[in-house]
Amino acid sequence: MVKLAPSILAADPLNLEREIRRMEQEGCDWIHVDVMDGHFVPNLAYGPDVVRHLKRVTKLPLDVHLMMEYPETLLDTFLEAGADILTIHAEISGDRPGLIRRIHEYGAKAGVALKPETGLEAVQDLLQDVDLVLCMTVEPGFGGQELHPEVMEKIRQLRSSGWPGLIEADGGIREDNLKDLVDSGLDVAVMGTALFHNTEGETAVRRMHSIGAGR
């Protein structure tokens, strides 16, 4: 069953606690927190204090995606705040293996993310050490973009390689394209508008969970 991870970028920021509790009640699996530094991507979003407060109001795992040029500057702070899954980008110039080790030392799961144009060769040396690969299906930095369908081939290649970890995708995912992603090998779908703005609530979540069930 595909896991659903609502991205709080699409939530009502003035009622974030209410929104997160609603996602939990409707049956979602993770909460996705995008962190943007204004350098790696041209936008700013969410710091450690948001993660710390979310930890107090939900039992769902907090899936924190660091879109940061220098994640080492705040890595420990996000882990101490309560990140259960912490993902760095393949494209950064820092000590990626060292950062992954540090995440595991805290007892969290470690992920590595790829922009749409970044090939799997960029993470070949990391696959044995990470728990999750996040394939961005839009250019990171802003919500509301259309999914890049060519990323499905990247997901398919990673799944067919026999790598046993979780494959996650983020960007432009809706109920009408979720099946193609799941058929390609997706395990975790990060969805913003499709979950927070869905008027069917629990019914829609159950329907999306059923896509690819028993794969």
List, by residue number, the catalytic residues. Answer: 34, 170
- Residues ≥6 apart with Cβ < 8 Å to 4: 27, 28, 29, 30, 188, 189, 191, 195, 205, 208, 209
Residue with tokens 């710091």: 47
Rounded distance between C-alpha atoms, residue 158 and residue 167, angstroms: 8
Rounded distance between C-alpha atoms, residue 144 and residue 126, angstroms: 30
3-state secondary structure (DSSP) of residue 128: coil
Ramachandran sector of residue 153 (left: φ over 0; alpha: ψ -120 to 50; beta: rest): alpha
Rounded distance between C-alpha atoms, residue 201 and residue 42, angstroms: 32
Token output for 125? 């040396």
- Are the CB atoms for 163 and 127 separated by under 8 Å? yes
Element of type H or E holding 97: helix 96-105
